[in-house]
Chain A
Amino acid sequence: MTAAGPVRGARRSRRLAGAGAVIRRRLLVAVPVLAATSAGMFALGAASPIDPAQQYAGAAAFTTSEENLAQIRANWGVDDPLPVQYARWVGNLLQGDLGWSTSRHEPVTAVLAARAGWTLLLVGAALVLVLLASLLLGTLAAYRRGGWFDRALRASAYAVQSMPVFWLGLAAIAVFALSLGWLPAGGLTDITTTGTDPADVARHLILPVTVLALSQAPWFVLFIRDAVADSLRDDHVLAARARGLPGRTVLFGHALRTALLPFLTLVGTHLPELVGGAVLVETVFSLPGLGAVTVQAALGSDFPLLAATTLATTVVVLTANLLTDLGYAAADPRVRLDD
């Protein structure tokens, strides 16, 4: 047993031997994907009948003259032909300038810098929580399939799956903030503080992170439960059991490990849904993340900001896919990267 460590390590590094080439290849593919995504955004923008200047004027649009709106559109260059606008945008992008957000009235980089961090924190924390919780709960449920814990877990998973995330959020506020008074109802920090104290932020993020994790949990929990239950009947697991290994070792060391492989793929494909849920959670808990501004940008035909958030999301999804594949290669000896 003691000699197994280094040997296993060597085997694993051999399995990842082709990783560098894969990453290079993926980067090459990423460039046309990103170009296509951003060009698609601009094409959609051209097809959109929404007048960004009218959106910008808001209620004042009813008293603003056509000439006034035309001047504003000219200042923004939004009446220029699409290829001109796209070329200008790409030119600026190559210089590190993501453009000017017409709906937020500040540089797109400033919008992203101020808000992306909070969204990433929310999504990241929720992902960690949902992974840990679903691995643990799903495996335990599979171990005593049909038992009271399994049945209760499945019932609550179906119940939660049928609840919209904003409803979960409002219910959580009603219970934990209003009735019990344990946690704040929203915002990033206490409303009268001026700085951002990490402890204060953490306290404010407990409810949103839990609600987001809970809303995504049914998928993960049910998947883990089924996968582990299946692999408990696999030959190698039965063999391990027959050799008299302790139940916990068999469950977590053999059955769960086999079940993890398809789960990795699931995490990768489920990420966009998690981001979608984050938009709603940010709204319910009044968090200054990217969710609200993305909706605002879409409604106001703010294409520089939309293109930037779309690109950022694309980058995250491509990276997640890459990591999933690398993780798969690391976990499954049958998958080889270098062919």
Chain B
Amino acid sequence: MGKPLSARVTALAVATALAVAGCSSATSPAGTNAGGTFVVATGGEPETLNPVLNYGVDGGSLIFDGLVARDGRNQLVPALARELPVVSADGRTVTARLRDGVRFHDGAALTAQDVVFTYQAVLDPKVDSTLRSDLDMLTSVTAPDPSTVVFTLKYAYAPFLQRLTLGIVPAKAFAGQDVNRAEFNRKPVGTGPYRVTSWVPGDRLVLAANEKYWGGKPANSGVVVAFVADDNVRAQRMRAGEFDAAELAPKLAAGFDGQPGHRVHRVPTADYRGVMLPMGNPVLGDPAIRRALNAAVDRQAMVTGVLGGAGEPAFGPVPPSSDFAEPSIAGKPAADLATAAAVLDAAGWRPGPDGVRVKDGRPAAFTLMYPATDSLRKELALAVTADAKKAGITVTPEGLTWDAITPRMKTDALVMGYGTPYDPDFVSYKLFGSALAGQGFFNPGRYVSPVVDKALQDGRDNADPATRKAAYATFQKQLATDLPWVFLTYLQHTYVVRDAVVGVTPRVEPHEHDVANSLWWNIDTWTRTS
């Protein structure tokens, strides 16, 4: 239980530096960990620290590096690969050349075999990795020489390089072991800016700076990630001064606005919430009802009221921050009841005596399901219910557990959410394409559009950025016409940070953010003003 060696060495170095500085106060310990240790708090705790088992697969994992990484604008930059991997003309062979002299935290050199092992482990059916679904296109990974890795794909997959942010693990650590149960999953060894000192699940993860990091020594001596599941408790402990940064629910974070010593970061995300409208529902199957709903919802009121200002209106599955976003699909943030009424009148939905519209004896009414434990989705469902009522559509909100929701998804509307900032193919291909419709959570409303199918396929097949952009523009416009979903809002993740912290660079975040991929994705460059 003694202090880790490097902490003692650091302490010694600091003591020596102080002793020296005692004589000449002008000398500062040159560049040594000026930031000290940073403490950050989050509610989400990873279940394992092994990238193969889904830890930090989109990068920013602090402990590991992928072949590529993402910068502050989510653009790919080389990491363990010397330069961005090269894609062959037919798009089915991807070659990565490794950076020289990279070492794991235990001192072993990184070789191509480690990369091969990492990806093969993901593909192994015996390994409990859900990442396998995302690497469906991968046939094999080979290492022709110790510094070259070749990926062979089943089909050309344009955004393949975006999948190479997965952290690389040392093959040696798993020799003769079951990847699912290896000791490594709790005591990992990576190449990243921090190495793991200790992890007490439910309490904290202690990371120490990797002094020999290939990307440059971290500007601080370490990071402690405190796991505090309860939002209120996290806010109170932030207030008590225990943390340098904490992720908080929007309304709790708002309590820190204007508080001296703190600042609030509202970080844009690609994480949208919307209402999935199944085509198999007799009322929702009518495009007029979908269009009227889309016009009747007051997105601005949801952002202000439900999200406490931490969000923005959503009109499609590609976030406005993405290069692929199509600006023309944006509608009015406020409710447009006149349009809703006009659409319904034109389609023959006439107001009945109780204000509810009726067509051919069928009232404009449907059930809207939401996961009962998700208070945000509940509030959104209630907001949609209230807005729809004004347009003469009766919505019955129903809070259920997921096992009760899934069998009903093909006939009843559902408040859903997901989204990724990295590539429009990642989620949209499965969620809106017809090929996988009805499989699990893939396109549960069974929306079928040949235009969308072709656009999604074009976006996947073509490497040329302009072609892809055009394909996804077509996709977004068609979605805005057919409205298989009514998109409501994009969320913002809210963080409270102490004023003294320097170097915080928010970047657009995906749905999942805990130790990895949060506001502290670049914490190795954070320092403190004294």
The residues of A with any CB-CB pair to B shorter than 8 Å are 49-51, 54, 56-66, 68-69, 71-72, 75-76, 100, 103-107, 114-115, 170, 173-174, 177-178, 181, 184-188, 191-192, 194-196, 283-289, 292-293
Complex CA gap A288/B133 in Å reads 33
Complex CA gap A56/B1 in Å reads 32
Complex CA gap A56/B53 in Å reads 10
Chain B residues within an 8 Å CB radius of A103:
47
Look across to chain A and name the residue whose beta carbon is closest to the beta carbon of B404: A49
Complex CA gap A60/B47 in Å reads 13
A328 to chain B, nearest CB (A): 38
B351 to chain A, nearest CB (A): 38
Whether, in the assembled complex, B136 has its beta carbon less than 8 Å from a beta carbon of chain A, the answer is yes
The residues of B with any CB-CB pair to A shorter than 8 Å are 1-4, 7, 37, 39, 47-48, 53-54, 125-126, 128, 130-134, 136, 180-181, 185-186, 197-198, 200-204, 206, 224, 226-230, 232-233, 236-237, 239-240, 242-243, 401-404, 418, 426-427, 430-431, 436, 439-442, 511-512
16 extra interchain contacts, Cβ-Cβ under 8 A, other than A61-B130, A63-B427, A69-B130?
A54-B402, A58-B512, A60-B512, A62-B430, A64-B133, A64-B440, A65-B440, A68-B130, A105-B48, A173-B233, A173-B240, A185-B240, A186-B228, A186-B236, A188-B200, A196-B1
Complex CA gap A170/B226 in Å reads 18
Look across to chain B and name the residue whose beta carbon is closest to the beta carbon of A283: B230
- Are A65 and B133 in contact, CB atoms less than 8 angstroms apart? yes
Name which of A69, A105, A170, A188 has the most chain B CB atoms within 10 A of its CB: A105
* Number of A-B pairs, beta carbon distance below 8 Å: 154
- Are A59 and B228 in contact, CB atoms less than 8 angstroms apart? no
Chain B residues within an 8 Å CB radius of A57:
130
- Are B229 and A170 in contact, CB atoms less than 8 angstroms apart? no
Chain A residues within an 8 Å CB radius of B126:
75
- Are A178 and B224 in contact, CB atoms less than 8 angstroms apart? no
Chain A residues within an 8 Å CB radius of B48:
105
- Are A187 and B240 in contact, CB atoms less than 8 angstroms apart? no
- Across the A-B interface, give the 10 residue pairs with the lowest CB-CB distance, nearest first: A288-B202, A49-B403, A288-B203, A64-B130, A65-B133, A57-B130, A60-B130, A68-B133, A64-B133, A195-B1
- Are A50 and B202 in contact, CB atoms less than 8 angstroms apart? no
Complex CA gap A195/B372 in Å reads 40
- Are A286 and B426 in contact, CB atoms less than 8 angstroms apart? no
A16 to chain B, nearest CB (A): 42
Provide a sorted-by-A list of 27 A–B residue pairs whose CB atoms are within 8 angstroms: A49-B404, A60-B512, A62-B431, A63-B418, A65-B436, A65-B442, A71-B125, A104-B201, A105-B53, A115-B202, A170-B233, A170-B236, A181-B240, A184-B240, A186-B228, A186-B237, A191-B204, A191-B224, A191-B226, A191-B242, A195-B2, A195-B3, A283-B233, A285-B233, A286-B227, A289-B202, A292-B202
Known: A191-B39, A195-B1. Is A284-B233 also a contact (CB below 8 A)?
yes
B36 to chain A, nearest CB (A): 9
- Are A174 and B236 in contact, CB atoms less than 8 angstroms apart? yes
Look across to chain A and name the residue whose beta carbon is closest to the beta carbon of B7: A194
Chain B residues within an 8 Å CB radius of A287:
202-203
- Are B203 and A187 in contact, CB atoms less than 8 angstroms apart? yes
Look across to chain A and name the residue whose beta carbon is closest to the beta carbon of B48: A105
Known: A50-B403, A72-B128, A100-B181. Is A286-B230 also a contact (CB below 8 A)?
yes
B9 to chain A, nearest CB (A): 15
Chain B residues within an 8 Å CB radius of A106:
181, 185-186
- Are A185 and B236 in contact, CB atoms less than 8 angstroms apart? yes
Complex CA gap A7/B226 in Å reads 59
